[in-house]
Structure 1
Amino acid sequence: MRALVACSACRSRRRKCTSVHGSTTCLYCTERSITCIRGSGAPSLSSQGYSAPSSPPAVRQSALVGLPLPPRELCLELVELYFDFIHDKFHSIFHRPSLTEDVRQGVVPPVILFAIFALSARFSENEVFSGIAPRERSKPYYDESARLVDIRDTSITTIQACILLGGIGSCEARAFNESIYYTVACRMANLLGLSKRTGATALEQELNIRIWWTLCMVDVWSSKSVRLPRQMSHFSDLPLPIDEYTFLQWRRGAQDNIEVSSDRSSSLIAQMILLNRILMEINDAITQTVTSGTVTLVLDKTAEDLSLKLDNWYNALPEYMHNTPENLQRYASQGLGRIFVAVYLGYYHYGQLLFYQFLNDDQHSTGGNRYAKKCKEHAANLCLIVYAAQETPGCEVRYNMVGHILVIASTVQIHTLLFGTDEAEIAVARQRVVRNFQILTDMQRWWAWLDMCFVRLHIFHDMCRTSMATSFRMDEWMMKFLSEFSKPIEEKTEDSAQAALDWARNIEAYTQGPVEEQTSVSVCPSPSPRYNVLPP
């Protein structure tokens, strides 16, 4: 018979709760030997095994005991998945060998473990999660870690917990939660003077450096996504992280005798940091474009300088760090393939951001066509490295930010579909849009945030169908679309007559020299049939 009140496990999996007459346990829970809870209590560890916790109530009773930790074996599995797919791609705040050993010894603070589980449980194939959709596994762990975090405790542990909780907020499309947790972490790091804080050991010192730089990187894109001022300072005299291979060889208490080279160019995390500094300038340039009244115009000098910085970054890399199939395979064999891919996802995404405004044929930069081409090159290379990563074991990209950057890269392909004249290029662009859509669909099962990415892509798609002539114009709406990824975006409204007049005046005021002949069509009444590539 169907229970009058569904148990928490059946509510979580959104299925009918059925029990035998007279029994207090439903069939689902009985078959899995897990505790069947029909009240507001939290699940507990049964005597015969552990069940993935179902969603706890929105309001906890004061006497309610928190969620129990899973068995040690499952804890280790979830921690390994976290390091495989999240850590060093999203943030770098732990030393993998040390944390793994601490999990085995049972000494990791639960506030840290539950936050880690909230990020990694979605990737688990463990049978304890049977019947629970991957993207729905985060909430109980997230809620428990949020309950346990104590911002009165100004410590490294609290900073790490807040970074994790901020990351979960991003994954779950909770922009305000994300921003608040990251803000607390940044404030604590500044209060502790983490950038100058001397560690008791070389390992502790290196972790302090990595946590500080993680917050600097997070601050750049997170603050931009909610349009708030940055909080972290970039100190030129602060050492960059050491290379990952050396760092992973260190062991607690045995690393002090290792001489570390001052050359940090081989560190993948260090390269992320260098690129992040360029991203900060690109974000500022885009904001200046929109708010200064020039709308789509950025002085050629600004674009040229930032373009040169991106080129110089790549040219300064050792050859073994260049994006080649051989290097991808080599890093994968070292267990560093996903970090290598993450570096280049950043590089190509920052390039497509910088040059995106030059896709619009209303801009009057003398280098417009050249920069538009560079935008398409960066977007194409971004797609290609994602495809290569998906096909190379140990390189798969699964963290949620890939959704946003693939959406942006897809819109660049849409530009080719709309305005391209080369049939071969059009065919390739169409293939990329379709393949990107498939990848995004696959990722949607892990991340609720991907729902918002799809909404943004469809809004852009529909905008192009109704207003091709201005769909790539760098204005307030486009800035939100490109950079404010943590918040939903509304459909673009038609410009008022006054806004159109201001636009024309700005174009006239900022024209610099002769305009290059445009190869794209400036006005097109309706999209070509080749453009209809997205499902409704």
Structure 2
Amino acid sequence: MAADRPKRARAGACKNCRVRKRRCVPSDNGDECVLCQSLSIPCSLSQNYTEPEGPVLKRDFQGTPRQLAEREKPLNGASLSSFPATAATAAPSSFAFSSHALRPVKPQRSPLVTTPVVLLELVSLYFRFVHNIAHTLFHEASFIRRFNEGRASLLHVHAMCALSARYSQNQVFNGTPPGSRGQVYAAEATRLLQGYLGSPSLESTQACVLIGHFMGGEGDLKAKHTYFGLAKLHAENLSLWAMPHNLTVVHREERRRTWLSVRIADHWTAVDTSVEPAPFPHGRDALPAVDDIAFHTFDPNLLREDRASCNMWAHMAGTLDIFARISILLARLSRSVISFDTYCREVPLLTQRLEKWADGLPEELKYNISNLTSFANKGLGRTFLSMHIGYYHFRQMLYFPFLDARANRSTSIPTDGAAQCKSSAAMVSEIVQYAMRFQNCELDYYIYGYIAVVSSCVHLHTLLLSEDPSELWTARQRLVSNFEYLMSLKILWPMVNLSVARLRIFEDFCRNSMSDPFALDNWMARFITEHASIPPVRKQSTLPSLEPVLVDSATACVAGLNGHGGLSGTDETGSTGAEWGVLSTLLSDRSLTSEAVVNNALDWLLE
């Protein structure tokens, strides 16, 4: 009977179209509307639709930033404890949806501050310090517009806040350490995500990437790998690399950039777990197609897909396979699957691929002070430096085994690998300096802390084992710069505390094994390649003691590396505060031995 039939709401309009006050047009398959299909979100017209637990921002969140500020004047001078906890944080519940439930973030006593002004501030900080550095997912202008109109996903907002709250200077966070502020937002994001796990969408894929990055910053590797794995599963379920013709330019580009971010996360995860990354057979069409500057600044209606040369993320994608090959080669060497001679034969091939990538960059993307200044002025200095620090990191990884003087002596293949490693580590230190000194160039993210730790290991090795006075002096200065950077990151990211702890372990082995400082066993290779874990303590070598053998000296200055030299035209001196000035004076005291310098610097960093 007609009376028994359920009525269709609003003449069949789905919930998403009703919220947006849009005409709901069924798609060709009839199981969803055109809007939901274009956004890759669950449609209530679908027979398999289930109500998600992640709502969009309520309409009372809308308004301009100034209107929001006027509405939230009581925030001024308030403390974090003055805001009541939401139900989610006052009485947090654990995951219980299956026996394989995701591990939730530990509930915190700090309340979840979700006032419009605070959320807008944290979302803006996310786009400033995290987005387009560690990953690229969103068109910023479109997201901020949705936020101000009350249409942004709360799942995304809370996941962004989890990453960015550590950068806030808002008084509501007084009393909460920067590295702990994001935990309550991450707990809420993981709770909201449960409603999306069975319905893959672009929204859920992006959320998994965000939460995975947060877990990595916390040092929770299992959770990080779980969320990155979920992101990959959701992306593959959606065929995120495919571009339906009925999507807008912004939606297509967000799909491409999200897919690339999933690929990058998958490669780092594979290195963490010592496995070969899965191949991604989708070609150039799946890479970002919109110019980075345009995507960062333009109105969505002005964007064009032109495969512009000024697309740093598309170029960075070209290094992923090289990075994977270097990691696999190091792992095989560590397990004695290949000999050091075989490794030496492979290195020139990978060096050639790296140099071909660097030579193939358009002039406006090459590493020089003019380009850095240009991108910094456009708000993309961080992306520019992240691209180049990755390149030099892959080089310092590739040449790291050549610091083993005994291995160099045992091979019949002549090489300058030790000098190349030191030059690459020096370039990493130089980029770190510019990241600290140039506005809009900050690399205040934990992944780059790991890269700086590897660079610092090379400088420590030089200080402890070299006898060249000029080389010792430059290594000392580079170590100072790296440690200043790492100290600032320690405050923000718990993972960096774990990374810098490696330095003391590394120093101890160098100091106690002068005759055999770099036996490239499985422990040392894992030290190089695994950016988010601490290898177990390495067993002392049982080889008979040898006379100390020193590696050849590297170039004393931060010289150009095969034509890809350092920046010029900036002052390399500067003051960074009274406390740092004292340490800098201590480290520049030429009467101190290199061992004393290393001890003092490590004591300061690890205190």
In the alignment, does 2:178 pair up with 1:134? Answer: yes
AA paired with 2:206? Q
Q: What pairs up with 1:111-122 in 2 under 5 angstroms?
A: 111-122=155-166
Relative to structure 1, is the Cα distance of residues 292 and 102 closer, same or farther in structure 2, using a 3 angstrom cutoff?
Answer: same
What is the CA–CA distance in structure 2 between the aligned matches of 1:407 and 1:271, rounded to whole Å? Answer: 25
What is the CA–CA distance in structure 2 between the aligned matches of 1:297 and 1:534, rounded to whole Å? Answer: 36
Partner residue, 1:266: 310
Name the stretch that deviates more: 433-442 or 342-351.
433-442
In the alignment, does 2:229 pair up with 1:162? Answer: no
The Cα RMSD (Å) is 3.1
How many aligned positions are there? 471
What is the CA–CA distance in structure 2 between the aligned matches of 1:410 and 1:490, rounded to whole Å? Answer: 20
Partner of 1:445, secondary structure, is helix
In the alignment, does 2:287 pair up with 1:243? Answer: no
Partner of 2:206, secondary structure, is helix
Match of 2:534 among 465, 472, 488: 488
Partner residue, 2:244: 198
Is the 1:352–1:379 Cα contact (8 Å) retained in structure 2? yes
Match of 1:383 among 411, 423, 429: 429
Deviation (angstroms), 1:250: 4.2
Name the stretch that deviates more: 214-223 or 171-180.
214-223
Partner residue, 1:360: 404
Gaps of 5+ in 2: 1-74, 98-106, 554-592
What is the CA–CA distance in structure 2 between the aligned matches of 1:290 and 1:204, rounded to whole Å? Answer: 44
Relative to structure 1, is the Cα distance of residues 57 and 495 closer, same or farther in structure 2, using a 3 angstrom cutoff?
Answer: farther
What is the CA–CA distance in structure 2 between the aligned matches of 1:367 and 1:105, rounded to whole Å? Answer: 65
Q: 1:370-426 CA deviation, whole Å, 9 max, x = no partner?
A: 121111111101100110121111111101111111110011111211232320110
What is the CA–CA distance in structure 1 between the aligned matches of 2:199 and 2:279, rounded to whole Å? Answer: 20
In the alignment, does 2:437 pair up with 1:404? Answer: no
AA paired with 1:350? F
Is the 2:79–2:174 Cα contact (8 Å) retained in structure 1? no
Deviation (angstroms), 1:313: 1.1
What is the CA–CA distance in structure 2 between the aligned matches of 1:305 and 1:34, rounded to whole Å? Answer: 55
What is the CA–CA distance in structure 2 between the aligned matches of 1:375 and 1:143, rounded to whole Å? Answer: 41
What is the CA–CA distance in structure 2 between the aligned matches of 1:173 and 1:316, rounded to whole Å? Answer: 36
Match of 1:519 among 545, 548, 552: 552
Partner of 2:207, secondary structure, is helix
Match of 1:280 among 324, 341, 345: 324
What is the CA–CA distance in structure 1 between the aligned matches of 2:550 and 2:486, rounded to whole Å? Answer: 36
AA paired with 1:218? A
Partner of 2:356, secondary structure, is helix
Gaps of 5+ in 1: 1-28, 46-52, 505-515, 521-525
In the alignment, does 2:146 pair up with 1:102? Answer: yes
Relative to structure 1, is the Cα distance of residues 232 and 110 closer, same or farther in structure 2, using a 3 angstrom cutoff?
Answer: farther
Q: What pairs up with 1:32-431 in 2 under 5 angstroms?
A: 32=78, 43-44=85-86, 57=92, 59=94, 70-150=114-194, 151-198=197-244, 200-231=247-278, 233-241=280-288, 242-252=290-300, 254-255=301-302, 259-262=304-307, 264-294=308-338, 296-363=340-407, 364-366=410-412, 369-431=415-477
What is the CA–CA distance in structure 1 between the aligned matches of 2:309 and 2:412, rounded to whole Å? Answer: 35
What is the CA–CA distance in structure 1 between the aligned matches of 2:498 and 2:121, rounded to whole Å? Answer: 29
Q: 1:196-255 CA deviation, whole Å, 9 max, x = no partner?
A: 242611211111111111111111112211234534514234342132112234434x24
Q: 1:50-74 CA deviation, whole Å, 9 max, x = no partner?
A: xxx9897575999x9x986622222
Relative to structure 1, is the Cα distance of residues 309 and 426 closer, same or farther in structure 2, using a 3 angstrom cutoff?
Answer: same
What is the CA–CA distance in structure 2 between the aligned matches of 1:527 and 1:164, rounded to whole Å? Answer: 42
Identity %: 28
Is the 2:136–2:257 Cα contact (8 Å) retained in structure 1? yes
Partner of 1:265, secondary structure, is coil
Is the 2:331–2:526 Cα contact (8 Å) retained in structure 1? no
AA paired with 1:210? R
What is the CA–CA distance in structure 1 between the aligned matches of 2:511 and 2:335, rounded to whole Å? Answer: 27
AA paired with 1:328? L
What is the CA–CA distance in structure 2 between the aligned matches of 1:34 and 1:469, rounded to whole Å? Answer: 55
What is the CA–CA distance in structure 2 between the aligned matches of 1:104 and 1:434, rounded to whole Å? Answer: 44
Is the 1:358–1:372 Cα contact (8 Å) retained in structure 2? yes
What is the CA–CA distance in structure 2 between the aligned matches of 1:457 and 1:172, rounded to whole Å? Answer: 19
AA paired with 1:467? S
Deviation (angstroms), 1:192: 1.4
Is the 2:461–2:510 Cα contact (8 Å) retained in structure 1? no
What is the CA–CA distance in structure 2 between the aligned matches of 1:116 and 1:193, rounded to whole Å? Answer: 24
Is the 1:223–1:229 Cα contact (8 Å) retained in structure 2? yes
Partner of 1:535, secondary structure, is helix
Q: 1:449-505 CA deviation, whole Å, 9 max, x = no partner?
A: 1110121111111111111333323220012111122223222112357xx9xxx9x
Is the 1:299–1:365 Cα contact (8 Å) retained in structure 2? no
Runs of 4+ in structure 1 deviating by more than 6 angstroms, as ranges, are: 33-37, 53-56, 66-69
Partner residue, 1:507: none
Is the 2:241–2:286 Cα contact (8 Å) retained in structure 1? no
Relative to structure 1, is the Cα distance of residues 459 and 57 closer, same or farther in structure 2, using a 3 angstrom cutoff?
Answer: farther
Is the 2:241–2:255 Cα contact (8 Å) retained in structure 1? yes
Is the 2:347–2:398 Cα contact (8 Å) retained in structure 1? yes
Partner residue, 1:444: 490
What is the CA–CA distance in structure 1 between the aligned matches of 2:417 and 2:95, rounded to whole Å? Answer: 55
